[in-house]
């Protein structure tokens, strides 16, 4: 099983967030007063006669990102909540729909375009589009199923002139959507059962905005309030809509708040080719907190491309700040180690092994050398080690100068090692290192030579191998491989690192 590992490299220029003056405070207080007045007026809104309208909890209340000065300490989050927030990952929303990024690009025009779905012609149709009017002058246009909105639609509030555009589930705002207030405010982001939930941005009519996470319609966990010039008014951790812990004033690095790479992200093609390695990605974090201009290197081309693709699609940051608190672009470096677990031996019965061999697809790319390597690799991945050993030895003997030779010789050593033949494995690993010390898998073969010698109880020899590894590859090997060498030295009882 693939085990991707994330390692952040702290190589960031300093950024900052500054203090805000009395003007911003007065502006915020005026905005809060106006918000309370609007909320008070909207609280008397009548429910429609039809029960298919989104319930009252689907009508977004204004966020309250500022904390009162006399906020009691009892409202502080528990320690374990605060500890996990800097690396907060909103995988709940991402798992809910893999096309969240596509939904986020839905415009008002797209939300009204339902040509692909037929118009409702009778009651309780499974999926159709319709226009539903309510006695209180509210109106819905969009996709419909049974008795309620389902899918994309637009809900218009007749009395307040607010409207919501986005996804519906069982008649309630759900997943991605945009709520427009008649006042000019709007919220763009994730919803759940009619409430703001997950990552979202609330835009005030005066140009200020709040970015962060939401729960039950209120600001929760990490978030920041910005003025129109993109300076920070406040930033920190929120609980139940109130700021309970401010981020430290002064220079601020970009902080990752979302995104991860898991075992399930290992590219299928890379698994089939037994590709692995450490990919180092360098990218910029934009002033909006998005990774851009990602370039990765160090692993195979396929894994490097996958690394940048996943970082760009999933990772999100609170942007870096300069001395005035203004968002600035920042460079980041992140390493992803893609590691493949070694296969186990196939069943010993001849009938079962024969069935496995017959089930292998014979490569037919037109390149005989490449096809021979891929076939031997497929034998190895199925745990057919004796058969793989024969094919790999044949490949190495016939193609000693081929670009695949280092990989093939290393695989031959692994095939012996997994077949409980450490002596033969040590010979194969030694030959791969000595014959082609700059080969693609030479450094790893030298590491496995130490492992094989440890298995053979030749501990002093294993320690000499690890010493040579540090001398030859200590400055060029991946961090993951060097950490495995450290572990190998401990297992061999080597006296010093």
pLDDT tens for each residue of 252-293: 788 888 888 988 899 988 887 888 888 999 999 998 889 999
Class of domain 5-11+256-338: alpha beta
Give the model's confidence band at 417: pLDDT under 50 very low, under 70 low, under 90 confident, else very high: very high
At 49 the pLDDT is 27
Q: What are phi and psi of 43, to 5 degrees?
A: -70, -20
CATH of range 350-492; options 3.30.930.10, 3.40.50.300, 1.25.40.10, 3.30.1490.100: 1.25.40.10
At 145 the pLDDT is 83
Q: Are 178 and 163 in contact (CB under 8 A)?
A: no
Q: Are 15 and 328 in contact (CB under 8 A)?
A: yes
Q: Is the pLDDT assigned to residue 17 strictly greater than 90?
A: no
- Tokens at 368, concatenated: 């005989």
Arch. (CATH architecture) of 22-34+52-248: Single Sheet (2.20)
Cα distance between residue 58 and residue 216, in whole Å: 10
Cα distance between residue 208 and residue 6, in whole Å: 35
Q: Is 350 exposed, middle or buried (0-12, 13-18, 19+ CB in 10 A)?
A: exposed
Per-residue DSSP letters for 336-374? EEE-PPPPPPPPS-HHHHHHHHHTSPPP-SS-HHHHHHH
- Give the whole-number percent of the chain exceeding pLDDT 70: 74
At 50 the pLDDT is 30
Q: Are 453 and 469 in contact (CB under 8 A)?
A: no
Q: Is the pLDDT assigned to residue 471 strictly greater than 50?
A: yes
Residues contacting 344, CB < 8 A, separation 6+: 383, 418
Give the model's confidence band at 30: pLDDT under 50 very low, under 70 low, under 90 confident, else very high: low
Cα distance between residue 92 and residue 382, in whole Å: 35
* Buried/exposed 331-347: b ≥16 CB within 10 Å, e otherwise: ebebbbbbbbeebeebe
3-state DSSP assignment of residue 213:
strand
Mean predicted confidence (pLDDT) in 65-88: 30
Of residues 332 and 117, more confidently modeled: 332
274: left (phi over 0), alpha (psi -120 to 50) or beta: left
437-442 contacts at long range (C-beta below 8 A, 24 or more positions apart):
437/472, 439/405, 439/406, 439/409, 440/403, 440/406, 440/407, 441/406, 441/407, 441/409, 441/410, 442/406
Mean predicted confidence (pLDDT) in 180-190: 93
Range scoring the smallest mean pLDDT among 112-116, 181-185, 355-359: 112-116
At 164 the pLDDT is 94
Q: Is the pLDDT assigned to residue 56 strictly greater than 50?
A: no
pLDDT, averaged across the chain: 77
Q: Is the pLDDT assigned to residue 60 strictly greater than 90?
A: no
Q: Tell me, yes or no, if the pTM score tops 0.75.
A: no
Cα distance between residue 232 and residue 16, in whole Å: 10
At 7 the pLDDT is 36
Range scoring the smallest mean pLDDT among 79-88, 94-103, 143-152, 419-428: 79-88
Beta strands 195-203 and 291-297, pairing class: unpaired
- Tokens at 478, concatenated: 């991946």
Of residues 55 and 390, more confidently modeled: 390
Cα distance between residue 195 and residue 329, in whole Å: 32
At 250 the pLDDT is 63
> Domain residue spans in the chain?
5-11+256-338, 22-34+52-248, 350-492
Q: Is 368 exposed, middle or buried (0-12, 13-18, 19+ CB in 10 A)?
A: exposed
Residue with tokens 């986020």: 104
Dihedral sign of CA atoms 286, 289, 293, 296 in order: positive
Range scoring the smallest mean pLDDT among 235-249, 296-310, 356-370: 235-249
Range scoring the smallest mean pLDDT among 114-123, 171-180, 461-470: 114-123
Mean predicted confidence (pLDDT) in 244-250: 73
What separation in angstroms does the CA of 294 have from each of 286, 306, 307, 309? 12, 11, 9, 8
Q: What is the pLDDT of residues 357-380, one digit of tens each?
A: 899 988 888 999 999 999 999 999
At 244 the pLDDT is 86
Residues contacting 202, CB < 8 A, separation 6+: 62, 63, 185, 186, 187, 209, 210
436: left (phi over 0), alpha (psi -120 to 50) or beta: beta
């Amino acid at each position: 099983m693939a085990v991707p590992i994330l390692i952040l490299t702290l190589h960031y220029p300093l950024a900052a967030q500054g203090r805000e003056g009395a003007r911003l405070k007065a502006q915020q207080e005026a905005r809060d007063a106006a918000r309370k007045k609007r909320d008070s007026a909207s609280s008397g809104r009548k429910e429609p006669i039809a029960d298919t309208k989104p319930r009252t909890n689907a009508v977004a209340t204004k966020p309250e990102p500022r904390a009162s000065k006399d906020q009691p300490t009892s409202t502080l989050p528990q320690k374990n909540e605060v500890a996990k927030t800097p690396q907060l990952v909103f995988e709940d929303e991402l798992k809910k729909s893999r096309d969240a990024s596509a939904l986020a690009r839905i415009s008002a025009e797209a939300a009204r375009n339902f040509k692909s779905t037929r118009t409702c012609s009778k009651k309780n149709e499974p999926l159709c589009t319709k226009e539903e009017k309510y006695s209180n002058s509210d109106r819905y246009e969009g996709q419909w199923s049974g008795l309620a909105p389902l899918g994309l639609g637009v809900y218009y509030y007749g009395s307040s002139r607010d409207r919501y555009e986005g996804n519906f589930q069982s008649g309630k705002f759900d997943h991605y959507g945009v709520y427009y207030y008649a006042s000019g405010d709007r919220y763009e982001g994730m919803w759940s059962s009619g409430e703001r939930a997950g990552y979202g941005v609330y835009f005030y009519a005066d140009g200020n905005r709040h970015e962060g996470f939401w729960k039950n319609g209120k600001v929760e966990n990490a978030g920041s309030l910005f003025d129109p010039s993109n300076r920070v008014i406040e930033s920190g951790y929120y609980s139940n809509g109130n700021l309970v812990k401010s981020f430290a004033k002064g220079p601020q690095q970009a902080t990752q708040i979302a995104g991860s790479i898991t075992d399930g992200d290992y590219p299928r093609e890379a698994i089939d080719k037994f590709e692995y390695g450490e990919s180092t990605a360098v990218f910029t974090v934009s002033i909006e907190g998005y990774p851009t201009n990602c370039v990765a290197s160090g692993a195979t081309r396929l894994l490097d491309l996958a690394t940048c693709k996943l970082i760009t699609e999933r990772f999100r940051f609170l942007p870096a700040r300069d001395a005035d608190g203004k968002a600035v672009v920042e460079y980041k470096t992140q390493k992803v180690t893609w590691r493949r677990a070694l296969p186990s031996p196939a069943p010993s019965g001849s009938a079962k092994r024969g069935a496995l061999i017959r089930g292998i697809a014979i490569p037919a790319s037109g390149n005989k050398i490449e096809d021979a390597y891929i076939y031997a690799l497929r034998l190895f991945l199925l745990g057919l080690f004796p058969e793989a050993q024969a094919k790999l030895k044949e490949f190495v003997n016939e193609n000693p100068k081929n670009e695949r030779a280092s990989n093939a010789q290393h695989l031959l050593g692994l095939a012996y090692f997994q077949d409980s033949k450490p002596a033969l494995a040590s010979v194969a690993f030694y030959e791969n290192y000595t014959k082609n010390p700059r080969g693609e898998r030479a450094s790893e073969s030298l590491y496995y030579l130490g492992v094989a010698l440890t298995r053979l109880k030749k501990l002093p020899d294993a320690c000499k191998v690890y010493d040579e590894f540090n001398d030859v590859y200590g400055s060029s090997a991946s961090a993951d491989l060097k950490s495995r060498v450290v572990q190998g030295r401990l297992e061999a009882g080597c006296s010093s690192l």
